[in-house]
């Protein structure tokens, strides 16, 4: 009894300290959310306002749901083609990075081979190379091989950007599927390949789809390589970069929203698998 009473002031001190800590954490969370959400919010409000409202003052806090800006943007010369290029390059990137990344992820999760840890590290290291450093030699090489200004050429560059993520996400996916299931399939008459298709693939499919969407998004958002390596076949990002500094403000907002919103939706759809990847990468 007395012991408990003697501890009361200490407990109170702890309590207040904990409350202060919690307040600080909430403040940090609110700040971070505002940091990310506010620009997106302003972007969307302005994209959904009429051209006059965008340039006028004071600003409205709620969109007027006027499609003037958007429809002007869509009908702007070259936008449709750039949009098509973006989708084409992103789709190619998606196919290439899953086609190469998923087998690598599977090998990392299932086999022990010399240099495995080094390989995993190397996969991450490729992200440490600044793209501008590679851009000039790449452009020269692409011109020599005739890959410059083609969707395939740009997709190859984007694949190198997306591949590390594809490898790490699929690695964590395959690691989460017990090897015992494959062995059971072998004892039930499967070859290695059959066991993979009949047992591992169906279980990994949602995650692989997520990883594909992520690769798509990386390509969709990439602007530097796109701007350097394409002239005629601009993707949407490169097109906007080139033409928007000479275009009116409301067009910039509409173009920005057209880029950000699909990417946001994609990432939101696959967030679960991205967290899984980061869990593995942090280890």
Partner 1 sequence: MAEISIRKVAKHFGNFTALHSVDLTIADQEFLVLLGASGCGKTTLLRIVAGLETPSQGEVWIGGRRVDHLPPRDRGIAMVFQNYAVFPHLTVYENIAFGLRMKKLPQDEVDRRVRRTAELIHIEQLLKRYSGQLSGGQRQRVAVARALAMQPDVILMDEPLSNLDALLRLEMRAELKGVLAASKTTTVYVTHDQVEAMSLADRIAVMHQGRIVQAASPVEVYRNPAARFVGSFIGNPPMNFIPAKKAGDGRWSVAGMTLDGPRASRSEIEFAIRPEDVEVAPDGVPITVRVVEPLGAHTLITSDVEGHLFRAVLDSTTTVRTGDRLTLAPKPDRIRWFDPDTTAAL
Interacting residues toward partner 1 by CB under 8 A: 178, 180-181, 183-191, 194, 198-199, 202-203
Q: How far is the CB of 187 from partner 1 (least distance, A)?
A: 5
Q: How far is the CB of 256 from partner 1 (least distance, A)?
A: 41
Which one, of 98, 126, 100, 135, lies nearest residue 223 by Cα?
Answer: 135
Nearer to partner 1, 35 or 111 (CB): 111
Q: How far is the CB of 211 from partner 1 (least distance, A)?
A: 18
Q: How far is the CB of 112 from partner 1 (least distance, A)?
A: 11
Which one, of 113, 87, 127, lies nearest residue 235 by Cα?
Answer: 87
d(Cα 8, Cα 40) in Å, to the nearest integer?
48
Nearer to partner 1, 7 or 183 (CB): 183
Taking the CA atoms of residue 180, residue 181, residue 186 and residue 188 in that order, the dihedral angle to the nearest 10 degrees is 120
C-alpha of 11 from chain center: 46
Which one, of 221, 248, 214, lies nearest residue 237 by Cα?
Answer: 221
Nearer to partner 1, 154 or 195 (CB): 195
Q: How far is the CB of 265 from partner 1 (least distance, A)?
A: 27
d(Cα 95, Cα 211) in Å, to the nearest integer?
11
Nearer to partner 1, 17 or 198 (CB): 198
Nearer to partner 1, 30 or 181 (CB): 181
Q: How far is the CB of 179 from partner 1 (least distance, A)?
A: 9
Q: Where are the alpha helices (DSSP H) in the chain?
A: 2-47, 51-55, 68-75, 79-110, 116-125, 131-145, 151-175, 179-187, 192-195, 201-221, 224-229, 236-243, 249-269, 271-281
d(Cα 162, Cα 247) in Å, to the nearest integer?
31
Nearer to partner 1, 35 or 113 (CB): 113
Q: How far is the CB of 180 from partner 1 (least distance, A)?
A: 4
Which one, of 255, 211, 227, 220, lies nearest residue 98 by Cα?
Answer: 211
Nearer to partner 1, 81 or 110 (CB): 110
83: buried, middle or exposed (CB in 10 Å: 19+, 13-18, 0-12)? middle
């Amino acid at each position: 009894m007395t012991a408990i009473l003697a501890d009361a002031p200490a407990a109170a001190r702890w309590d207040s300290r904990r409350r202060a800590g919690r307040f600080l954490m909430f403040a940090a969370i609110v700040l971070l959310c505002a940091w990310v959400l506010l620009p997106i919010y302003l972007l969307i409000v302005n994209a959904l306002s009429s051209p006059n409202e965008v340039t006028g003052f004071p600003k409205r806090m709620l969109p007027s749901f006027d499609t003037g800006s958007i429809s002007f943007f869509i009908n702007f010369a070259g936008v449709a083609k750039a949009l098509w290029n973006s989708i084409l390059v992103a789709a190619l990137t998606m196919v290439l990075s899953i086609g190469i990344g998923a087998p690598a992820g599977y090998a990392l999760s299932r086999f022990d081979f010399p240099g495995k840890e080094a390989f995993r590290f190397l996969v991450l290291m490729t992200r440490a190379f600044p793209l501008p450093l590679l851009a000039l030699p790449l452009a020269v090489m692409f011109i020599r091989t005739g890959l410059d200004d083609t969707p395939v050429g740009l997709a190859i560059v984007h694949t190198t950007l997306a591949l590390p993520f594809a490898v790490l996400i699929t690695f964590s996916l395959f690691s989460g599927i017990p090897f015992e299931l494959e062995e059971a399939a072998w004892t039930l008459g499967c070859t290695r390949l059959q066991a993979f298709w009949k047992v591992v693939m169906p279980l990994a499919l949602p995650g692989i789809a997520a990883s594909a969407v992520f690769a798509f998004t990386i390509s969709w958002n990439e602007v530097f390589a796109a701007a350097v390596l394409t002239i005629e076949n601009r993707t949407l990002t490169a097109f906007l970069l080139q033409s928007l500094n000479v275009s009116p403000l409301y067009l910039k907002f509409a173009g920005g929203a057209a880029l950000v919103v699909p990417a946001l939706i994609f990432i939101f759809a696959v967030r679960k698998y991205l967290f899984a990847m980061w869990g593995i990468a942090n280890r």
